Amino acid sequence: MDDRTLRFYFDFISPYAFFVALKLPAMCEKHGVTLEYYPVVFAGLLNHWGQLGPAEIPSKARHTAKQCMRYAKLNGITYKGPKHHPFNPLTSLRVSTLEVAGSDQARVIECLYSLGWEQGGDLGNDDEIVRALDAANLDGARLVADSKAQAVKQALRANTDTAIEKDVFGVPTMLIDDQLFWGIDQMEYLDLYLQGKDPIKGMKLDTLGQRGATAWRSGIRNLNNPDG
Protein backbone atom coordinates (compact mmCIF):
# COMPACT_ATOMS: atom_id res chain seq x y z
CA MET A 1 0.00 0.00 0.00
CA ASP A 2 1.42 3.38 -1.04
CA ASP A 3 1.44 6.61 0.97
CA ARG A 4 1.00 4.90 4.34
CA THR A 5 1.19 7.10 7.42
CA LEU A 6 2.10 6.09 10.96
CA ARG A 7 0.94 8.31 13.81
CA PHE A 8 3.24 8.43 16.84
CA TYR A 9 1.46 9.54 20.02
CA PHE A 10 3.91 10.52 22.76
CA ASP A 11 4.50 12.51 25.92
CA PHE A 12 8.04 13.44 27.00
CA ILE A 13 7.20 12.19 30.48
CA SER A 14 7.45 8.56 29.30
CA PRO A 15 10.89 6.91 29.07
CA TYR A 16 9.42 4.26 26.80
CA ALA A 17 8.30 6.96 24.38
CA PHE A 18 11.91 8.20 24.39
CA PHE A 19 13.16 4.74 23.42
CA VAL A 20 10.57 4.42 20.67
CA ALA A 21 11.38 7.90 19.34
CA LEU A 22 14.97 6.73 18.80
CA LYS A 23 13.92 3.72 16.73
CA LEU A 24 10.82 4.80 14.86
CA PRO A 25 12.28 7.11 12.16
CA ALA A 26 14.58 4.39 10.80
CA MET A 27 11.82 1.79 10.89
CA CYS A 28 9.42 4.04 9.00
CA GLU A 29 12.09 4.90 6.45
CA LYS A 30 12.88 1.20 5.94
CA HIS A 31 9.26 0.45 5.12
CA GLY A 32 8.52 3.61 3.16
CA VAL A 33 6.03 4.87 5.74
CA THR A 34 5.44 8.56 6.54
CA LEU A 35 5.95 9.30 10.24
CA GLU A 36 3.70 11.91 11.87
CA TYR A 37 4.29 13.14 15.42
CA TYR A 38 1.38 13.81 17.79
CA PRO A 39 2.29 15.12 21.26
CA VAL A 40 -0.46 14.31 23.75
CA VAL A 41 -0.97 14.86 27.47
CA PHE A 42 -0.44 11.48 29.12
CA ALA A 43 -2.26 12.70 32.23
CA GLY A 44 -5.30 13.40 30.07
CA LEU A 45 -5.28 9.82 28.79
CA LEU A 46 -4.94 8.50 32.34
CA ASN A 47 -7.80 10.66 33.56
CA HIS A 48 -10.09 9.56 30.75
CA TRP A 49 -9.44 5.84 31.14
CA GLY A 50 -9.29 5.93 34.96
CA GLN A 51 -5.69 4.80 35.40
CA LEU A 52 -2.70 5.69 37.54
CA GLY A 53 0.60 6.46 35.86
CA PRO A 54 3.65 4.28 36.63
CA ALA A 55 5.26 7.12 38.58
CA GLU A 56 2.15 7.36 40.81
CA ILE A 57 2.66 3.84 42.15
CA PRO A 58 5.94 3.82 44.14
CA SER A 59 6.81 0.16 43.62
CA LYS A 60 5.99 0.41 39.89
CA ALA A 61 8.08 3.58 39.61
CA ARG A 62 11.10 1.77 41.05
CA HIS A 63 10.55 -1.20 38.75
CA THR A 64 10.17 1.06 35.72
CA ALA A 65 13.37 2.94 36.52
CA LYS A 66 15.40 -0.27 36.72
CA GLN A 67 13.78 -1.72 33.61
CA CYS A 68 14.63 1.40 31.62
CA MET A 69 18.21 1.42 32.85
CA ARG A 70 18.59 -2.22 31.80
CA TYR A 71 17.06 -1.54 28.39
CA ALA A 72 19.32 1.47 27.80
CA LYS A 73 22.42 -0.42 28.89
CA LEU A 74 21.70 -3.40 26.66
CA ASN A 75 20.92 -1.19 23.67
CA GLY A 76 23.80 1.27 24.03
CA ILE A 77 21.55 4.24 24.74
CA THR A 78 22.78 7.23 26.73
CA TYR A 79 20.31 7.45 29.60
CA LYS A 80 20.22 9.72 32.64
CA GLY A 81 16.56 10.61 33.00
CA PRO A 82 15.11 14.07 33.64
CA LYS A 83 16.19 16.16 36.63
CA HIS A 84 12.66 15.86 38.04
CA HIS A 85 10.06 13.16 37.44
CA PRO A 86 7.15 13.48 37.14
CA PHE A 87 7.42 17.01 35.75
CA ASN A 88 5.02 19.37 34.00
CA PRO A 89 5.49 18.57 30.29
CA LEU A 90 3.13 21.16 28.83
CA THR A 91 5.69 23.61 27.43
CA SER A 92 7.72 20.79 25.90
CA LEU A 93 4.62 19.26 24.36
CA ARG A 94 3.29 22.55 23.00
CA VAL A 95 6.67 23.48 21.52
CA SER A 96 6.62 20.09 19.77
CA THR A 97 3.26 20.57 18.08
CA LEU A 98 3.24 21.00 14.33
CA GLU A 99 1.58 24.38 14.90
CA VAL A 100 4.70 25.69 16.67
CA ALA A 101 7.62 23.62 15.36
CA GLY A 102 6.47 23.42 11.76
CA SER A 103 8.96 21.77 9.43
CA ASP A 104 11.45 21.52 12.33
CA GLN A 105 9.10 19.30 14.37
CA ALA A 106 11.27 16.18 14.24
CA ARG A 107 14.38 18.17 15.21
CA VAL A 108 12.58 19.87 18.09
CA ILE A 109 11.35 16.55 19.46
CA GLU A 110 14.79 14.97 19.14
CA CYS A 111 16.35 17.94 20.92
CA LEU A 112 13.91 17.85 23.84
CA TYR A 113 14.18 14.10 24.29
CA SER A 114 17.95 14.50 24.44
CA LEU A 115 17.65 17.33 26.98
CA GLY A 116 15.56 15.28 29.36
CA TRP A 117 16.46 11.64 28.98
CA GLU A 118 20.06 11.77 27.72
CA GLN A 119 21.40 14.90 29.44
CA GLY A 120 19.35 14.84 32.64
CA GLY A 121 17.85 18.30 32.08
CA ASP A 122 14.55 19.69 33.29
CA LEU A 123 11.87 19.28 30.63
CA GLY A 124 9.50 21.30 32.78
CA ASN A 125 11.70 24.40 32.83
CA ASP A 126 11.20 26.99 30.08
CA ASP A 127 14.72 28.43 30.39
CA GLU A 128 16.36 25.03 29.99
CA ILE A 129 14.12 24.28 27.02
CA VAL A 130 15.12 27.57 25.36
CA ARG A 131 18.84 26.89 25.91
CA ALA A 132 18.60 23.35 24.54
CA LEU A 133 16.75 24.49 21.44
CA ASP A 134 19.22 27.33 20.87
CA ALA A 135 22.12 24.86 21.16
CA ALA A 136 20.48 22.81 18.39
CA ASN A 137 20.36 25.92 16.15
CA LEU A 138 16.65 26.33 16.71
CA ASP A 139 15.09 29.59 17.87
CA GLY A 140 14.30 28.58 21.43
CA ALA A 141 12.90 31.88 22.63
CA ARG A 142 10.53 32.16 19.68
CA LEU A 143 9.38 28.55 19.94
CA VAL A 144 8.65 28.78 23.66
CA ALA A 145 6.92 32.15 23.23
CA ASP A 146 4.77 30.75 20.43
CA SER A 147 3.84 27.77 22.59
CA LYS A 148 1.94 30.06 24.98
CA ALA A 149 -0.70 31.00 22.40
CA GLN A 150 -4.24 29.88 23.15
CA ALA A 151 -4.52 28.26 19.73
CA VAL A 152 -1.50 26.08 20.51
CA LYS A 153 -2.92 25.03 23.86
CA GLN A 154 -6.10 24.06 22.04
CA ALA A 155 -4.10 22.12 19.43
CA LEU A 156 -2.50 20.00 22.15
CA ARG A 157 -5.90 19.37 23.73
CA ALA A 158 -7.24 18.41 20.32
CA ASN A 159 -4.37 15.95 19.81
CA THR A 160 -5.20 14.33 23.14
CA ASP A 161 -8.94 14.22 22.47
CA THR A 162 -8.40 12.73 19.02
CA ALA A 163 -6.06 10.12 20.47
CA ILE A 164 -8.75 9.08 22.96
CA GLU A 165 -11.30 8.86 20.14
CA LYS A 166 -8.91 6.46 18.41
CA ASP A 167 -8.71 4.30 21.60
CA VAL A 168 -5.21 5.45 22.55
CA PHE A 169 -4.83 4.74 26.27
CA GLY A 170 -1.12 5.19 26.87
CA VAL A 171 2.21 6.35 25.48
CA PRO A 172 4.05 5.54 23.37
CA THR A 173 1.37 4.49 20.89
CA MET A 174 1.92 3.88 17.19
CA LEU A 175 -1.16 3.85 14.97
CA ILE A 176 -1.13 2.74 11.35
CA ASP A 177 -4.11 1.74 9.22
CA ASP A 178 -6.53 0.69 11.97
CA GLN A 179 -3.87 -1.06 14.05
CA LEU A 180 -2.69 0.26 17.42
CA PHE A 181 0.68 -0.71 18.90
CA TRP A 182 1.40 0.41 22.47
CA GLY A 183 4.77 0.34 24.21
CA ILE A 184 8.41 -0.36 23.43
CA ASP A 185 7.76 -4.11 23.50
CA GLN A 186 5.43 -3.70 20.50
CA MET A 187 8.18 -2.54 18.15
CA GLU A 188 8.88 -6.11 17.00
CA TYR A 189 5.20 -6.63 16.19
CA LEU A 190 5.00 -3.26 14.45
CA ASP A 191 7.96 -4.18 12.27
CA LEU A 192 6.30 -7.47 11.32
CA TYR A 193 3.05 -5.66 10.55
CA LEU A 194 4.84 -3.21 8.27
CA GLN A 195 6.40 -6.17 6.47
CA GLY A 196 2.94 -7.69 5.93
CA LYS A 197 3.79 -10.51 8.33
CA ASP A 198 1.44 -9.74 11.23
CA PRO A 199 1.17 -12.98 13.28
CA ILE A 200 -2.59 -12.45 13.71
CA LYS A 201 -3.27 -11.61 10.07
CA GLY A 202 -6.37 -13.46 8.90
CA MET A 203 -7.55 -14.39 12.39
CA LYS A 204 -11.14 -13.59 13.36
CA LEU A 205 -10.86 -10.99 16.09
CA ASP A 206 -14.27 -9.30 15.92
CA THR A 207 -15.62 -11.21 18.93
CA LEU A 208 -12.42 -11.09 20.98
CA GLY A 209 -13.18 -9.96 24.51
CA GLN A 210 -16.89 -9.46 23.83
CA ARG A 211 -18.29 -12.30 25.93
CA GLY A 212 -18.67 -9.99 28.89
CA ALA A 213 -17.24 -9.96 32.41
CA THR A 214 -18.60 -11.96 35.32
CA ALA A 215 -16.88 -9.80 37.96
CA TRP A 216 -15.76 -6.20 38.30
CA ARG A 217 -13.73 -4.47 41.01
CA SER A 218 -15.77 -2.31 43.35
CA GLY A 219 -15.35 1.42 42.72
CA ILE A 220 -13.79 0.95 39.28
CA ARG A 221 -15.72 2.50 36.41
CA ASN A 222 -16.65 -0.10 33.81
CA LEU A 223 -16.08 1.63 30.47
CA ASN A 224 -17.47 -1.40 28.67
CA ASN A 225 -20.79 -0.87 30.44
CA PRO A 226 -20.87 2.72 31.75
CA ASP A 227 -24.59 2.54 32.56
CA GLY A 228 -24.38 -0.78 34.36
Q: Report all structural domains of the chain as residue ranges with CATH numbers, in order of start.
A: 5-194 (3.40.30.10)
Band the pLDDT of 207: cuts 50, 70, 90. low
The amino acid that residue 221 corresponds to is R
| Residue 141 CB partners (closer than 8 Å, separation 6+) | 130, 134
Mean pLDDT of 10-33: 98
Percentage with pLDDT > 70 across the chain: 95
Q: How far is CA 78 from CA 68, 119, 177, in A?
A: 11, 8, 33
pTM: 0.94
pLDDT tens profile 89-110: 999 999 999 999 999 999 999 9
Band the pLDDT of 204: cuts 50, 70, 90. confident
Output the pLDDT for position 1: 44
* Phi (first) and psi of residue 33, to 5 degrees: -110, 135
Output the pLDDT for position 28: 98
* Phi (first) and psi of residue 83, to 5 degrees: -60, -40
Band the pLDDT of 54: cuts 50, 70, 90. very high
C-beta separation of 24 from 8 below 8 A: yes
Output the pLDDT for position 216: 81
Band the pLDDT of 134: cuts 50, 70, 90. very high
Higher-scoring residue by pLDDT: 203, 34 = 34
Q: How far is CA 29 from CA 19, 133, 186, 218, in A?
A: 17, 25, 18, 47
